[in-house]
């Protein structure tokens, strides 16, 4: 069965107030499970009945009997642990995968000599007469120096001058371009250097040499055609497939442009969107240009809307990162008298932007790594609530690496979700690098518990490629604060949360974060029939070392089994489109 055949009813089966209500017997009954519902009114069940993609009964096996007739498919859950599907509220399959699928030049040698780089470029030019730009990787400075060749535009121009060429060096510290590429990008002796890099210039004439360092190569990226549509489609498709195999039923692709939305729509229209996606339009051009930003925000985003896809969110980069000491803190960085980090936008800009987006019904997802950045963001939301009224959109504070204690109650008060991302709350070098923030902030790092204890909503995001796309790693570590792979008791700063709390973070809180908590996120009558069947019971195991490698046997999304790990339903009408043979495993390989 192809994905499109297996996809949800479309067109004629849409439901509204006066038509299409599911009535009568269930399509499917799942029995003999240990079902943890995340519904406080009925925590556990052993069976569920599903009709038209919605739970129509949740309870004991006997409760299902009235819903079963000869057309009902009855599935044995084999005493497995069942819970609602997971929500990964911040990730980037496009940024991780699309460049590799774009068909760019790849010299394909570990240690290419200049002549080999040249030959690769010429071969690529010949094989790709229609892609004007020749862009890719890589050359090795050392070999140019060994051979006494200057790696500059003159070298490239000597064999290719009619098409723009840009080749990264092996360590991605700079890019080598020819004269045509400089011309296309409008780079000449008068072009100012960007803040975080420079245009290498001839000391006498000031003319660019063709070497662009660090931030300067974004000048070339901006002039190049966008990432090819097929590469974006493949990246999203494979990302969705992998997430589905890990039990994710709702996710956010944080940072999109019109081309990315087009790619997501292609996947959705093909019936291959096996989870719900909220896409956040980039407010800044710092990752890729968004040429139709204002058309999208003004309403063009609705063109992409479906049951599975929406673009009613905007993402901005408020501060930097801890690694570069640019996250914005509430007090100076350790050892500094004044430096508090950097903000990419003024607080006034943020206030006006949040108020405006809130009024338009667009969720603001704010990258706030430092406790000073989230403080300002919450101030901006407070202003939006004051001006627009209290019932606006639920905004999202992304990363929240360190929060001020004073702000913990404000997440509930202002209806803002605290998102913890990336998977940095386990002891490992990446997380340890965050300790540069200074000891007094250690206990406030990744403070899930603080937000939850104050009645706020906390969610998680894998932030692939910053950390692994397998959300089970972070799921385990939020309950242990330990490294799943370490055989010791080293604990990361801050406080662990309970299994019950963590399951809510991964399920119903995600549904809240997507604004669908009334129709999804827990196993309840009337909600979307989403659940996952696991190979282990999260309430009956030693957490450390045993949650991160949980296997998801089945993923059901809106009544459709979309992932079947061992093919247990392969000869039934519930046959799943995805199985280990057709999903790329980005985690274990």
Give me the half-sphere count of Cα atoms (radius 13 Å) on the Cβ side of residue 439. Answer: 1
CB of residue 332 to another protein, shortest distance in Å: 11
Q: What are phi and psi of 587, to 5 degrees?
A: -110, -50
Question: Applying CB under 8 A, which of residues 50, 121, 140, 350 lies at the interface with another protein?
Answer: 140
Q: If 0-12 CB within 10 Å is exposed, 13-18 middle and 19+ buried, where does residue 51 land?
A: buried
Q: Which is nearer to another protein, 129 or 429 (CB)?
A: 429
Among the listed residues 158, 336, 498, 566, the single contact to another protein using CB under 8 A: 336
Residue whose structure tokens are 């439901």: 15
Minimum distance, C-beta of residue 330 to another protein, in the bound complex (Å) = 18
Distance CA 253, CA 260 (A): 10
Contact indicator for 464, 587 with CB cutoff of 8 Å? no
Could you say which of 270, 287, 436, 525 contacts another protein (CB under 8 A)? Answer: 436
Q: Which of 70, 335, 348, 488 binds another protein (CB under 8 A)?
A: 335
| 80-40-525 Cα angle (round to 5) | 70
Binding characters for another protein, 168-197, by CB under 8 A (x = yes): --xx-xx-----------------xxxxxx
| Residue 333 binds to another protein (criterion: CB under 8 A) | yes
The SS3 of residue 467 is coil
Residue 457: phi, psi to the nearest 5? Answer: -100, 125
**In this complex, which beta carbon is closest to another protein, that of residue 220 or of residue 557?**
220
Number of residues that bind another protein (CB under 8 A): 34
Determine if 334 is a binding residue for another protein (CB under 8 A): yes
The minimum distance between CB 324 and another protein, in angstroms, equals: 6
CB of 110 to another protein, least distance (A): 9
Binding residue for another protein (CB under 8 A) from 21, 108, 122, 142? 142
- Candidate list 60, 324, 346, 570; residue touching another protein; CB under 8 A: 324
175: left (phi over 0), alpha (psi -120 to 50) or beta: beta
Q: Min. distance of Cβ 172 from another protein in angstroms?
A: 10
Segment contacting another protein by CB under 8 A, of 51-59, 182-190, 320-328, 351-359? 320-328
Asked if 440 interacts with another protein (CB under 8 A), we say no
Stretch of 116-124, 259-267, 333-341, 568-576 contacting another protein, by CB under 8 A: 333-341
Segment interacting with another protein, rule: CB under 8 A, options 61-69, 135-143, 401-409, 420-428 = 135-143
- Please choose, out of 40-48, 328-336, 355-363, 544-552, the segment that lies near another protein by the rule CB under 8 A: 328-336
Question: CB–CB of 182/188 below 8 Å?
Answer: yes
Q: Which residues of 227-260 are buried (b: 16+ CB within 10 A; e: fewer)?
A: bbeebbbbbbbbbbbbbbbbbbbbbbbbbbbbbb
Q: Binding pattern to another protein, positions 463-502, x when CB under 8 A?
A: ----------------------------------------
- Using the contact rule CB under 8 A, the part of the chain among 50-58, 114-122, 323-331, 450-458 near another protein is 323-331
Instruction: State the minimum distance, in angstroms, from the CB of residue 177 to another protein.
Output: 16
Examine residue 339 and tell whether it contacts another protein (CB under 8 A).
yes
Nearest to 318 by CA among 362, 284, 289, 352: 284
Q: Using the rule CB under 8 A, is 429 a contact of another protein?
A: no
The neighbour count for residue 457, using CB atoms within 10 Å, is 23
Closest CB to another protein among residues 130, 171: 171
Residue 30 and residue 52: Cα distance in Å, rounded?
14
Report the sign of the C-alpha dihedral through residues 334, 335, 336, 339, in that order.
negative
User: 205 to 244, contacts with another protein by CB under 8 A?
Assistant: 206, 213-214
- Shortest separation between residue 63's beta carbon and another protein, angstroms: 58
User: What is the distance between the alpha carbons of residues 492 and 505, in angstroms, rounded to a whole number?
Assistant: 19
Q: Is position 24 an interface residue for another protein (rule: CB under 8 A)? A: no
| Distance of alpha carbon 190 from alpha carbon 198, whole angstroms | 13
- CB-wise, 339 or 485, nearer to another protein? 339
Angle at 521 between CA 516 and CA 522, to 5 degrees: 135
Give the number of other Cβ atoms within 10 Å of residue 152's Cβ. Answer: 18
> Looking at residue 254, what DSSP letter applies?
E
Region binding another protein by CB under 8 A among candidate stretches 70-78, 167-175, 364-372, 528-536: 167-175
Output the CA–CA distances (angstroms, integers) from residue 143 to 135, 168, 208, in the order listed.
20, 14, 22
Q: Is 113 in the site for another protein (CB under 8 A)?
A: no
Binding site for another protein (CB under 8 A): 140-146, 148, 170-171, 173-174, 192-198, 203-204, 206, 213-214, 323-325, 333-336, 339, 433, 436
């Amino acid at each position: 069965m192809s994905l499109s055949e297996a996809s949800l009813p479309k067109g004629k089966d849409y439901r509204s107030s006066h038509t299409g209500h599911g009535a009568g017997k269930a399509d499917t009954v799942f029995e003999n499970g240990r079902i943890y519902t995340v519904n406080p009114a009925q925590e556990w069940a052993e069976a569920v009945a599903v009709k038209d993609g919605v739970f129509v009964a949740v309870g004991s096996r006997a409760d299902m009997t009235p819903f079963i007739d000869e057309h009902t498919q009855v599935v044995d859950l084999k005493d497995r642990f069942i819970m609602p599907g997971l929500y990964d509220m911040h990730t980037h399959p496009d940024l991780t995968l699309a460049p590799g699928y774009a068909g760019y030049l790849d010299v394909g040698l570990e240690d290419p000599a200049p002549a080999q780089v040249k030959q690769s470029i010429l071969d690529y030019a010949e094989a790709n007469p229609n892609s004007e730009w020749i862009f890719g990787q890589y050359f090795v400075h050392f070999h140019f120096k060994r051979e006494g060749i200057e790696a500059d535009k003159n070298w490239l121009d000597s064999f290719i001058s009619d098409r723009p060429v840009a080749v990264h060096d092996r360590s991605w510290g700079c890019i080598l371009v020819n004269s045509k590429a400089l011309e296309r990008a409008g780079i000449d002796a008068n072009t100012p250097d960007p803040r975080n890099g420079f245009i290498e210039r001839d000391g006498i004439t000031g003319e660019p040499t063709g070497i662009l360092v660090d931030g300067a190569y974004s000048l070339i990226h901006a002039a190049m055609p966008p990432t090819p549509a097929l590469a974006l489609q493949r990246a999203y498709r494979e990302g969705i497939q992998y997430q589905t195999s890990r039990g994710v039923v709702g996710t956010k692709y944080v940072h999109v442009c019109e081309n990315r939305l087009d790619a997501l729509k292609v996947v959705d229209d093909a019936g291959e969107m096996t989870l719900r996606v909220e896409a956040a339009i980039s407010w800044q051009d710092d990752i890729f240009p968004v040429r139709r930003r204002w058309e999208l925000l003004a309403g063009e985003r609705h063109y992409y809307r479906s049951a599975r896809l929406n673009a009613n969110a905007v993402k901005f980069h408020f501060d930097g990162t801890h690694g570069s000491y640019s996250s914005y803190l509430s007090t100076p960085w350790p050892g500094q008298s004044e430096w508090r980090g950097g903000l990419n936008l003024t607080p006034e800009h943020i206030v006006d932007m949040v108020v405006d987006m809130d009024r338009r019904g667009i969720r603001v997802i704010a990258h706030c790594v430092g406790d000073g950045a989230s403080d300002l963001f919450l101030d901006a939301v407070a202003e939006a609530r004051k001006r627009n009224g209290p019932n606006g959109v639920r905004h999202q504070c992304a990363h929240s690496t360190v929060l001020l204690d004073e702000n913990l109650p404000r997440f509930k008060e202002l209806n803002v979700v605290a998102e913890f991302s990336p998977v940095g709350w386990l002891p490992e070098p990446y997380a340890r690098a965050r300790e540069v923030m200074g000891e007094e902030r250690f206990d406030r790092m990744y403070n899930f518990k603080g937000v939850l204890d104050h009645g706020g909503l906390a969610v998680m995001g894998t932030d692939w490629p910053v950390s692994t796309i397998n959300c089970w790693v972070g799921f385990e570590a939020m309950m242990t604060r330990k490294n799943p792979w370490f055989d010791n008791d080293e604990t990361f700063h801050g406080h662990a949360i309970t299994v019950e709390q963590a399951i809510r973070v991964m399920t119903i809180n995600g549904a809240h974060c997507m604004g669908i908590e009334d129709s999804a996120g827990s196993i309840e009558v009337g909600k979307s029939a989403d659940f996952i069947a696991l190979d282990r019971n999260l309430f009956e195991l030693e957490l450390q070392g045993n949650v991160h490698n949980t296997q998801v046997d089945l993923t059901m999304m809106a009544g459709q089994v979309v992932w079947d790990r061992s093919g247990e339903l392969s000869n039934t009408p519930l046959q799943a489109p995805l199985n280990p043979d057709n999903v790329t495993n980005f985690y274990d390989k």
